[in-house]
A = this chain, B = another copy of it.
Protein backbone atom coordinates (compact mmCIF):
# COMPACT_ATOMS: atom_id res chain seq x y z
CA UNK A 1 0.00 0.00 0.00
CA UNK A 2 1.95 3.00 -1.28
CA UNK A 3 1.32 6.66 -0.55
CA UNK A 4 -0.43 6.86 -3.94
CA UNK A 5 -3.24 4.76 -2.52
CA UNK A 6 -3.81 7.12 0.38
CA UNK A 7 -3.85 10.06 -2.01
CA UNK A 8 -6.51 8.44 -4.20
CA UNK A 9 -8.62 7.43 -1.23
CA UNK A 10 -8.35 10.76 0.57
CA UNK A 11 -8.90 12.81 -2.57
CA UNK A 12 -11.69 10.91 -4.29
CA UNK A 13 -13.29 8.41 -1.95
CA UNK A 14 -13.14 10.02 1.52
CA UNK A 15 -15.51 12.84 0.46
CA UNK A 16 -18.11 10.17 -0.38
CA UNK A 17 -17.91 8.43 2.98
CA UNK A 18 -20.89 8.15 5.28
CA UNK A 19 -21.43 8.80 8.97
CA UNK A 20 -19.34 6.25 10.90
CA UNK A 21 -16.96 5.69 8.01
CA UNK A 22 -14.62 8.26 9.59
CA UNK A 23 -13.52 9.60 6.21
CA UNK A 24 -12.07 6.11 5.49
CA UNK A 25 -9.12 6.85 7.81
CA UNK A 26 -9.75 3.99 10.21
CA UNK A 27 -9.27 0.23 9.88
CA UNK A 28 -12.99 -0.20 9.35
CA UNK A 29 -16.25 1.73 9.30
CA UNK A 30 -18.85 1.63 12.07
CA UNK A 31 -22.58 1.64 11.48
CA UNK A 32 -25.37 1.67 14.03
CA UNK A 33 -28.10 -0.49 12.51
CA UNK A 34 -31.56 1.13 12.44
CA UNK A 35 -34.08 -0.33 14.93
CA UNK A 36 -36.46 -2.97 13.66
CA UNK A 37 -34.62 -3.51 10.41
CA UNK A 38 -32.80 -6.42 8.89
CA UNK A 39 -29.64 -5.80 6.94
CA UNK A 40 -29.21 -7.08 3.41
CA UNK A 41 -25.81 -7.76 1.84
CA UNK A 42 -24.73 -8.42 -1.71
CA UNK A 43 -21.44 -8.29 -3.53
CA UNK A 44 -20.44 -8.19 -7.19
CA UNK A 45 -17.11 -8.11 -8.97
CA UNK A 46 -16.93 -6.39 -12.36
CA UNK A 47 -13.98 -6.90 -14.69
CA UNK A 48 -13.03 -4.64 -17.60
CA UNK A 49 -13.93 -6.12 -20.99
CA UNK A 50 -16.07 -8.77 -19.32
CA UNK A 51 -18.69 -6.69 -17.47
CA UNK A 52 -17.90 -3.28 -18.95
CA UNK A 53 -15.52 -1.82 -21.51
CA UNK A 54 -12.24 -0.44 -20.17
CA UNK A 55 -12.73 2.74 -22.20
CA UNK A 56 -16.35 3.31 -21.15
CA UNK A 57 -16.82 6.72 -19.50
CA UNK A 58 -15.62 6.22 -15.89
CA UNK A 59 -18.70 7.93 -14.43
CA UNK A 60 -20.94 5.43 -16.23
CA UNK A 61 -18.81 2.49 -15.04
CA UNK A 62 -19.21 3.77 -11.47
CA UNK A 63 -22.95 4.19 -11.79
CA UNK A 64 -23.42 0.78 -13.43
CA UNK A 65 -21.37 -0.93 -10.69
CA UNK A 66 -23.65 0.71 -8.12
CA UNK A 67 -26.88 0.02 -9.94
CA UNK A 68 -26.18 -3.65 -10.56
CA UNK A 69 -25.90 -4.07 -6.79
CA UNK A 70 -28.83 -1.76 -6.07
CA UNK A 71 -30.89 -4.01 -8.31
CA UNK A 72 -30.06 -6.94 -6.02
CA UNK A 73 -31.24 -4.86 -3.07
CA UNK A 74 -34.44 -4.04 -4.99
CA UNK A 75 -35.01 -7.76 -5.56
CA UNK A 76 -34.91 -8.26 -1.78
CA UNK A 77 -37.32 -5.37 -1.16
CA UNK A 78 -34.51 -3.47 0.58
CA UNK A 79 -33.50 0.19 0.62
CA UNK A 80 -29.87 1.18 0.05
CA UNK A 81 -27.87 2.15 3.12
CA UNK A 82 -24.22 2.07 2.10
CA UNK A 83 -21.53 0.33 0.09
CA UNK A 84 -17.87 -0.69 0.16
CA UNK A 85 -15.69 -0.49 -2.89
CA UNK A 86 -12.45 -2.16 -3.96
CA UNK A 87 -10.66 -1.03 -7.10
CA UNK A 88 -7.75 -2.80 -8.81
CA UNK A 89 -5.90 -0.60 -11.28
CA UNK A 90 -3.78 -2.07 -14.08
CA UNK A 91 -0.08 -1.39 -13.41
CA UNK A 92 0.32 0.34 -16.78
CA UNK A 93 -2.85 2.42 -16.50
CA UNK A 94 -2.25 6.03 -17.51
CA UNK A 95 -3.77 8.93 -15.58
CA UNK A 96 -5.44 7.02 -12.76
CA UNK A 97 -6.00 10.37 -11.12
CA UNK A 98 -8.07 11.69 -14.03
CA UNK A 99 -10.00 8.43 -14.24
CA UNK A 100 -10.75 8.52 -10.51
CA UNK A 101 -11.96 12.12 -10.72
CA UNK A 102 -14.62 11.05 -13.24
CA UNK A 103 -15.36 7.71 -11.55
CA UNK A 104 -15.92 9.37 -8.17
CA UNK A 105 -18.13 12.02 -9.79
CA UNK A 106 -20.31 9.14 -11.04
CA UNK A 107 -20.40 7.60 -7.57
CA UNK A 108 -21.41 10.95 -6.09
CA UNK A 109 -24.23 11.43 -8.58
CA UNK A 110 -25.76 8.06 -7.79
CA UNK A 111 -25.13 8.35 -4.06
CA UNK A 112 -27.38 11.38 -4.19
CA UNK A 113 -29.87 9.70 -6.53
CA UNK A 114 -30.23 6.64 -4.31
CA UNK A 115 -29.48 8.12 -0.87
CA UNK A 116 -26.60 6.00 0.29
CA UNK A 117 -22.89 6.49 0.99
CA UNK A 118 -19.48 4.86 1.11
CA UNK A 119 -18.41 2.68 4.08
CA UNK A 120 -15.03 1.43 2.99
CA UNK A 121 -12.60 1.49 0.13
CA UNK A 122 -9.50 -0.37 -0.94
CA UNK A 123 -7.36 0.38 -3.97
CA UNK A 124 -4.69 -2.01 -5.25
CA UNK A 125 -2.55 -2.51 -8.31
CA UNK A 126 -2.87 -5.48 -10.68
CA UNK A 127 -1.08 -6.93 -13.69
CA UNK A 128 -4.56 -7.65 -15.10
CA UNK A 129 -7.53 -5.58 -16.21
CA UNK A 130 -9.34 -2.92 -14.19
CA UNK A 131 -11.54 -4.57 -11.56
CA UNK A 132 -14.29 -3.13 -9.40
CA UNK A 133 -15.78 -4.99 -6.48
CA UNK A 134 -18.73 -3.48 -4.71
CA UNK A 135 -20.46 -4.70 -1.57
CA UNK A 136 -23.91 -3.21 -1.05
CA UNK A 137 -25.64 -2.91 2.32
CA UNK A 138 -29.40 -2.42 2.43
CA UNK A 139 -32.13 -2.37 5.05
CA UNK A 140 -35.54 -3.98 5.05
CA UNK A 141 -38.28 -4.17 7.68
CA UNK A 142 -37.51 -7.12 9.90
CA UNK A 143 -38.61 -10.42 8.40
CA UNK A 144 -39.90 -8.79 5.20
CA UNK A 145 -37.06 -9.51 2.77
CA UNK A 146 -38.31 -10.88 -0.56
CA UNK A 147 -37.09 -14.28 -1.66
CA UNK A 148 -36.57 -16.22 -4.88
CA UNK A 149 -38.28 -19.31 -3.55
CA UNK A 150 -42.01 -19.34 -2.86
CA UNK A 151 -43.67 -19.37 -6.30
CA UNK A 152 -46.88 -21.44 -6.20
CA UNK A 153 -48.57 -23.53 -8.88
CA UNK A 154 -50.77 -21.29 -11.04
CA UNK A 155 -49.15 -18.04 -9.91
CA UNK A 156 -48.92 -15.36 -12.56
CA UNK A 157 -45.40 -14.40 -13.66
CA UNK A 158 -44.75 -10.66 -13.92
CA UNK A 159 -41.93 -8.49 -15.23
CA UNK A 160 -41.48 -4.77 -14.71
CA UNK A 161 -40.69 -2.38 -17.57
CA UNK A 162 -39.50 -3.79 -20.89
CA UNK A 163 -37.03 -6.57 -21.67
CA UNK A 164 -34.18 -6.76 -24.16
CA UNK A 165 -33.32 -3.05 -24.36
CA UNK A 166 -29.89 -3.46 -22.75
CA UNK A 167 -29.05 -6.54 -24.84
CA UNK A 168 -29.90 -4.66 -28.05
CA UNK A 169 -27.90 -1.68 -26.74
CA UNK A 170 -24.89 -3.94 -26.23
CA UNK A 171 -25.24 -5.42 -29.75
CA UNK A 172 -25.25 -1.88 -31.05
CA UNK A 173 -22.08 -0.98 -29.10
CA UNK A 174 -20.56 -4.09 -30.70
CA UNK A 175 -21.36 -2.57 -34.13
CA UNK A 176 -24.32 -4.76 -35.11
CA UNK A 177 -26.77 -2.04 -36.13
CA UNK A 178 -24.41 0.27 -38.01
CA UNK A 179 -27.06 1.05 -40.63
CA UNK A 180 -29.62 2.22 -38.03
CA UNK A 181 -29.67 5.89 -37.14
CA UNK A 182 -28.26 6.85 -33.74
CA UNK A 183 -31.46 8.31 -32.31
CA UNK A 184 -33.13 4.89 -32.64
CA UNK A 185 -30.32 3.19 -30.74
CA UNK A 186 -29.07 5.68 -28.15
CA UNK A 187 -31.78 4.96 -25.53
CA UNK A 188 -30.95 1.25 -25.74
CA UNK A 189 -27.24 1.92 -25.20
CA UNK A 190 -28.22 4.08 -22.23
CA UNK A 191 -30.18 1.17 -20.79
CA UNK A 192 -27.06 -0.99 -21.10
CA UNK A 193 -24.88 1.59 -19.36
CA UNK A 194 -27.37 2.75 -16.77
CA UNK A 195 -29.64 0.08 -15.34
CA UNK A 196 -32.62 1.41 -13.39
CA UNK A 197 -32.80 -0.57 -10.16
CA UNK A 198 -36.48 -1.05 -9.32
CA UNK A 199 -36.15 -0.10 -5.66
CA UNK A 200 -39.56 1.58 -5.50
CA UNK A 201 -41.23 -1.57 -6.78
CA UNK A 202 -39.22 -3.97 -4.63
CA UNK A 203 -40.15 -2.27 -1.40
CA UNK A 204 -43.87 -2.58 -2.25
CA UNK A 205 -43.90 -6.28 -3.11
CA UNK A 206 -43.90 -7.77 0.40
CA UNK A 207 -47.25 -9.48 0.91
CA UNK A 208 -47.92 -9.44 -2.84
CA UNK A 209 -45.15 -11.40 -4.57
CA UNK A 210 -44.53 -15.07 -3.76
CA UNK A 211 -41.04 -15.03 -5.36
CA UNK A 212 -38.90 -12.17 -6.65
CA UNK A 213 -35.54 -11.69 -8.33
CA UNK A 214 -33.91 -9.23 -10.68
CA UNK A 215 -33.23 -10.13 -14.30
CA UNK A 216 -29.50 -9.72 -14.79
CA UNK A 217 -28.61 -12.76 -16.91
CA UNK A 218 -31.71 -12.97 -19.10
CA UNK A 219 -35.34 -13.88 -18.40
CA UNK A 220 -35.05 -17.57 -19.30
CA UNK A 221 -32.06 -18.35 -17.08
CA UNK A 222 -33.20 -16.20 -14.18
CA UNK A 223 -36.72 -17.59 -14.19
CA UNK A 224 -35.13 -21.02 -14.02
CA UNK A 225 -33.69 -20.08 -10.61
CA UNK A 226 -37.10 -19.11 -9.24
CA UNK A 227 -38.57 -22.35 -10.59
CA UNK A 228 -35.77 -24.57 -9.27
CA UNK A 229 -35.94 -23.00 -5.81
CA UNK A 230 -39.74 -23.12 -5.73
CA UNK A 231 -40.00 -26.68 -7.06
CA UNK A 232 -42.10 -25.81 -10.11
CA UNK A 233 -41.76 -24.90 -13.80
CA UNK A 234 -42.92 -21.95 -15.88
CA UNK A 235 -44.65 -21.32 -19.17
CA UNK A 236 -44.16 -17.94 -20.83
CA UNK A 237 -46.04 -16.60 -23.85
CA UNK A 238 -43.45 -14.87 -26.03
CA UNK A 239 -46.01 -12.38 -27.34
CA UNK A 240 -46.74 -11.14 -23.83
CA UNK A 241 -43.13 -10.18 -23.08
CA UNK A 242 -43.15 -6.37 -22.92
CA UNK A 243 -40.87 -4.67 -25.45
CA UNK A 244 -39.96 -1.04 -25.93
CA UNK A 245 -40.96 0.59 -29.23
CA UNK A 246 -37.27 0.77 -30.19
CA UNK A 247 -36.70 -2.93 -29.68
CA UNK A 248 -39.99 -3.73 -31.45
CA UNK A 249 -38.79 -1.73 -34.48
CA UNK A 250 -35.33 -3.36 -34.49
CA UNK A 251 -36.92 -6.82 -34.37
CA UNK A 252 -38.80 -6.05 -37.60
CA UNK A 253 -35.44 -5.57 -39.35
CA UNK A 254 -33.47 -8.17 -37.36
CA UNK A 255 -35.89 -10.98 -36.47
CA UNK A 256 -32.98 -13.37 -35.85
CA UNK A 257 -32.23 -11.47 -32.65
CA UNK A 258 -35.59 -12.34 -31.12
CA UNK A 259 -33.98 -14.62 -28.53
CA UNK A 260 -32.12 -11.63 -27.04
CA UNK A 261 -35.44 -10.80 -25.40
CA UNK A 262 -35.15 -13.78 -23.07
CA UNK A 263 -31.45 -14.63 -23.26
CA UNK A 264 -29.95 -11.12 -23.19
CA UNK A 265 -28.69 -9.86 -19.86
CA UNK A 266 -28.42 -6.48 -18.15
CA UNK A 267 -32.13 -5.71 -18.02
CA UNK A 268 -32.25 -5.31 -14.25
CA UNK A 269 -36.02 -5.38 -14.28
CA UNK A 270 -37.79 -7.29 -11.51
CA UNK A 271 -39.24 -10.72 -12.22
CA UNK A 272 -41.85 -11.87 -9.72
CA UNK A 273 -44.67 -14.30 -9.22
CA UNK A 274 -47.98 -13.60 -7.49
CA UNK A 275 -51.30 -15.39 -6.95
CA UNK A 276 -53.89 -14.64 -9.63
CA UNK A 277 -56.11 -12.80 -7.15
CA UNK A 278 -53.36 -10.20 -6.61
CA UNK A 279 -53.87 -8.96 -10.15
CA UNK A 280 -55.94 -5.92 -9.15
CA UNK A 281 -53.51 -4.98 -6.40
CA UNK A 282 -50.61 -5.19 -8.84
CA UNK A 283 -52.47 -3.06 -11.40
CA UNK A 284 -52.94 -0.44 -8.71
CA UNK A 285 -49.24 -0.62 -7.80
CA UNK A 286 -48.26 -0.26 -11.47
CA UNK A 287 -50.31 2.94 -11.76
CA UNK A 288 -48.96 4.28 -8.44
CA UNK A 289 -45.35 3.73 -9.57
CA UNK A 290 -45.88 4.73 -13.22
CA UNK A 291 -44.14 1.47 -14.13
CA UNK A 292 -45.63 -1.25 -16.30
CA UNK A 293 -46.00 -4.62 -14.58
CA UNK A 294 -46.89 -7.24 -17.16
CA UNK A 295 -48.15 -10.80 -16.81
CA UNK A 296 -46.04 -12.91 -19.19
CA UNK A 297 -47.03 -16.43 -18.14
CA UNK A 298 -47.68 -18.68 -15.19
CA UNK A 299 -46.13 -21.27 -12.91
CA UNK A 300 -46.61 -24.91 -13.97
CA UNK A 301 -45.98 -28.34 -12.50
CA UNK A 302 -43.57 -29.47 -15.19
CA UNK A 303 -40.06 -28.68 -13.98
CA UNK A 304 -38.82 -26.70 -16.97
CA UNK A 305 -39.09 -23.22 -18.40
CA UNK A 306 -40.95 -22.98 -21.71
CA UNK A 307 -41.40 -19.88 -23.87
CA UNK A 308 -44.19 -20.48 -26.42
CA UNK A 309 -44.90 -18.56 -29.60
CA UNK A 310 -48.47 -17.93 -30.80
CA UNK A 311 -48.53 -21.37 -32.43
CA UNK A 312 -47.64 -23.03 -29.17
CA UNK A 313 -44.09 -23.91 -30.27
CA UNK A 314 -41.40 -23.73 -27.57
CA UNK A 315 -38.88 -21.09 -28.68
CA UNK A 316 -36.20 -22.06 -26.17
CA UNK A 317 -33.28 -23.94 -27.67
CA UNK A 318 -30.95 -26.45 -26.08
CA UNK A 319 -28.30 -23.77 -25.66
CA UNK A 320 -30.64 -21.24 -24.07
CA UNK A 321 -30.09 -20.88 -20.34
CA UNK A 322 -33.66 -21.62 -19.41
CA UNK A 323 -34.23 -24.76 -21.44
CA UNK A 324 -32.54 -27.44 -19.42
CA UNK A 325 -34.71 -29.46 -17.10
CA UNK A 326 -33.66 -29.16 -13.47
Q: Contact at B148–A27, with CB atoms within 8 Å?
A: yes
Residue on B with the closest CB to A25?
A: B229
Q: Is the interface of A mostly helix, strand, loop or mixed?
A: strand
A278 at the interface (CB under 8 A from B): no
Shortest A230–chain B CB gap in Å is 11
Chain A interface residue count, CB cutoff 8 Å, equals: 68
A151 at the interface (CB under 8 A from B): no
Let me know if A84 and B129 touch, CB within 8 A: no
Stretch at the interface among A33-41, A159-167, A174-182, A250-258: A33-41
Q: Which of A125, A127, A214 lies at the interface centre, i.e. has the most chain B CB atoms within 10 A of its CB?
A: A127
**What is the chain B residue whose CB lies nearest that of A42?**
B28
B131 touches A131 (CB 8 A): yes
**Oligomer copy total:** 2
* Chain B residues with CB below 8 A from A321, complex form: 3
Residue A75 interfacial (CB < 8 Å): yes
Least CB distance, A246 to chain B, in whole angstroms = 26
Minimal beta-carbon separation of A286 from chain B (angstroms): 22
Most chain B CB atoms below 10 A, which of A72, A128, A137, A321:
A128
Q: Given A38-B32, A84-B43, check contact A27 B214 (CB 8 Å).
A: yes
The answer to whether A26 has its CB under 8 Å from any CB of chain B is yes
**CB pair A125 B28 closer than 8 Å:** no
Contact of A124 among B26, B32, B50, B213 (CB under 8 A): B50
Whether, in the assembled complex, A317 has its beta carbon less than 8 Å from a beta carbon of chain B, the answer is no
- Chain B residues with Cβ below 8 Å from A82 are 41
The answer to whether A28 touches B88 (Cβ under 8 A) is no
Q: How far is the CA of A72 from the CA of B22 in the complex (A)?
A: 14
Q: A127 touching B129 by the CB < 8 A rule?
A: yes
Stretch from A55-63, A114-122, A185-193, A234-242 forming part of the interface with B: A114-122
> Given A26-B147, A133-B133, A140-B30, do A84 and B41 touch, yes or no (CB 8 Å)?
yes
How far is A50 from B229 in the complex, measured between Cα atoms in Å? 40
Cα A75 to Cα B27 in complex, Å, equals 7
Is A7 interfacial (CB 8 A cutoff)? no
Asked if A126 contacts B38 (CB within 8 A), the reply is no
Instruction: Known pairs A27-B214, A28-B75; list 18 more (Cβ under 8 Å).
Output: A26-B213, A27-B75, A28-B42, A28-B145, A30-B38, A30-B140, A30-B145, A32-B38, A33-B38, A41-B84, A41-B135, A41-B137, A43-B85, A43-B122, A43-B135, A50-B125, A122-B133, A127-B128
